């Protein structure tokens, strides 16, 4: 690319890596070449740049695209992370409620979810920020479950590995299958209902829990704690549909189908006022003498969801890799 080339900005709600890869392949150049020109000393594809970029890296991209640095930051999940958690730990290996991709050099261990129908309707197919929100398991516009792998060869979706030869971000990088032709299945009504509720709270910041008004941050914290594996188990039918591949990864490491199955259960739990009250009592740390045995037992069983040590995340990934060899 030369300075005389047109350098298009991001589409609405587009992820940073999607923007970079899309501009490159639609210009007939490799994403690696484009990013090497913008950042000669930074290998962006080896990190999860969609979560955050440093001010210096954002500035370099802003100069290249002739846009404000804010436009670059707006393509990352940093604002969403801060909105969800007040102030996110930038160096944390995983951000609760933001899906993790498991970067390993240029490869990923989890696919980037997408809606085939949205991609089919795009002039230039691109990947949305909200597809990395862990509570988003379906497309509200098209009513279908998000997809994270190729229908033909089952390779995970890795649009950042698209090349000038593939021509766009809508083809499997392993076999060339047109991902817009992926089989679409309706998303579960209850899971979608939870998704809408969470998105509404995420947007407005107004939340209630068992009749009590709470902050957005607190609502997402409590909802995440209910996603403990013993409470939100995948039902037999969904497990069979996944080829019994539900393997107990952290929620943020799971694919859309497994997350959908767990959110369906979570939606039912949120209708259980008694459970919500018990859970919120646990949070208030009432004196031990004032707690019932039932409450103590529930708290004892409730696993900590975060903060997570980097080693713990690696350990979970290692388990996934061991098991995936058996598939």
Binding site for Zn ion (CB under 5 A): 115, 117-118, 139, 141-142, 150, 152-153, 155, 172, 174-175, 177
Listing DSSP states for 58-107 in one string gives HHHHHHHHTS-HHHHHTTSSHHHHHHHHSS--TT-S--TTB----EETTE
Name which of 78 and 150 has its Cβ closer to Zn ion: 150
Instruction: For the CB of residue 152, give the shortest distance to Zn ion in the complex, in Å.
Output: 5
Name which of 102 and 138 has its Cβ closer to Zn ion: 138
Residue 209, helix vs strand vs coil: strand
Name which of 142 and 283 has its Cβ closer to Zn ion: 142
Number of helices (H) and strands (E) in the chain: give both, helices first. Answer: 13, 6
Residue 193, helix vs strand vs coil: helix
Name which of 50 and 130 has its Cβ closer to Zn ion: 130
Instruction: For the CB of residue 175, give the shortest distance to Zn ion in the complex, in Å.
Output: 3
Strands (E) across the chain are located at 103-104, 107-108, 138-139, 144-145, 207-209, 212-214
Name which of 49 and 156 has its Cβ closer to Zn ion: 156
Name which of 28 and 176 has its Cβ closer to Zn ion: 176
Name which of 78 and 118 has its Cβ closer to Zn ion: 118
**C-alpha angle 44/47/50, rounded to 5°?**
85
Instruction: For the CB of residue 31, give the shortest distance to Zn ion in the complex, in Å.
Output: 18
Two tokens, residue 12: 């609405």
Burial 197-223 (b: 16+ CB within 10 A, else e): bbeebbeeeebebbeeebebbbbbbbb
137 Cβ contact partners less than 8 Å away, ≥ 6 residues apart: 145, 146, 187, 188, 191, 192, 195, 256, 257, 259, 260, 263
Two tokens, residue 236: 């037999």
Closest of 298, 300, 235 to residue 266, by C-alpha:
235
Name which of 172 and 249 has its Cβ closer to Zn ion: 172
Instruction: For the CB of residue 13, give the shortest distance to Zn ion in the complex, in Å.
Output: 12
Instruction: For the CB of residue 125, give the shortest distance to Zn ion in the complex, in Å.
Output: 12
Instruction: For the CB of residue 208, give the shortest distance to Zn ion in the complex, in Å.
Output: 29
Instruction: For the CB of residue 289, give the shortest distance to Zn ion in the complex, in Å.
Output: 53
Closest of 147, 191, 153 to residue 173, by C-alpha:
153
Name which of 30 and 178 has its Cβ closer to Zn ion: 178
Instruction: For the CB of residue 144, give the shortest distance to Zn ion in the complex, in Å.
Output: 7
- Distance, in Å, from the CA atom of 304 to the CA atom of 62, rounded to the nearest integer, reads 39
Residue 305, helix vs strand vs coil: coil
- Distance, in Å, from the CA atom of 10 to the CA atom of 23, rounded to the nearest integer, reads 9
Instruction: For the CB of residue 70, give the shortest distance to Zn ion in the complex, in Å.
Output: 27
């Amino acid at each position: 690319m030369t300075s005389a080339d047109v350098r298009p900005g991001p589409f609405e709600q587009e992820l940073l890596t999607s923007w970079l890869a899309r501009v490159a392949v639609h210009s007939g150049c490799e994403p690696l070449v484009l990013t090497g020109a913008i950042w000669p000393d930074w290998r962006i594809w080896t990190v999860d740049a969609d979560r955050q970029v440093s001010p210096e890296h954002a500035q370099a991209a802003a100069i290249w695209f002739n846009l404000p640095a804010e436009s670059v930051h707006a393509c990352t999940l940093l604002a969403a992370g801060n909105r969800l958690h007040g102030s996110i730990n930038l160096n944390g290996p995983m951000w609760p409620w933001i899906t993790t991709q498991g970067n390993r050099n240029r490869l990923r261990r989890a696919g980037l979810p997408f809606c085939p129908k949205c991609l089919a309707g795009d002039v230039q197919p691109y990947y949305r920020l909200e597809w990395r929100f862990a509570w988003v398991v379906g497309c509200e516009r098209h009513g279908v479950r998000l997809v994270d792998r190729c229908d033909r060869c089952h390779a995970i979706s890795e649009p950042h590995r698209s090349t000038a030869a593939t021509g766009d971000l809508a083809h499997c990088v392993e076999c060339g299958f047109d991902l817009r032709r992926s089989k679409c299945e309706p998303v579960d009504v209850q899971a979608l209902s939870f998704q809408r509720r969470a998105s509404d709270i995420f947007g407005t910041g107004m939340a209630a829990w068992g009749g009590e008004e709470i902050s957005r941050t607190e609502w997402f914290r409590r909802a995440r704690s209910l996603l403990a594996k013993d409470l939100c188990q995948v039902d037999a039918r969904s497990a069979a549909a996944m080829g019994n591949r539900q393997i107990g990864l952290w929620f943020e490491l799971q694919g859309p189908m497994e997350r959908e199955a767990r959110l369906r259960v979570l939606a039912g739990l949120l209708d259980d006022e008694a459970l919500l009250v018990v859970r919120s009592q646990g949070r208030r740390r009432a004196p031990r003498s004032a707690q019932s045995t039932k409450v103590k037992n529930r708290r004892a069983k409730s696993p900590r969801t975060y903060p997570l040590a980097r080693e713990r995340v690696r350990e979970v990934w290692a388990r996934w890799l061991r098991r995936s060899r058996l598939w």
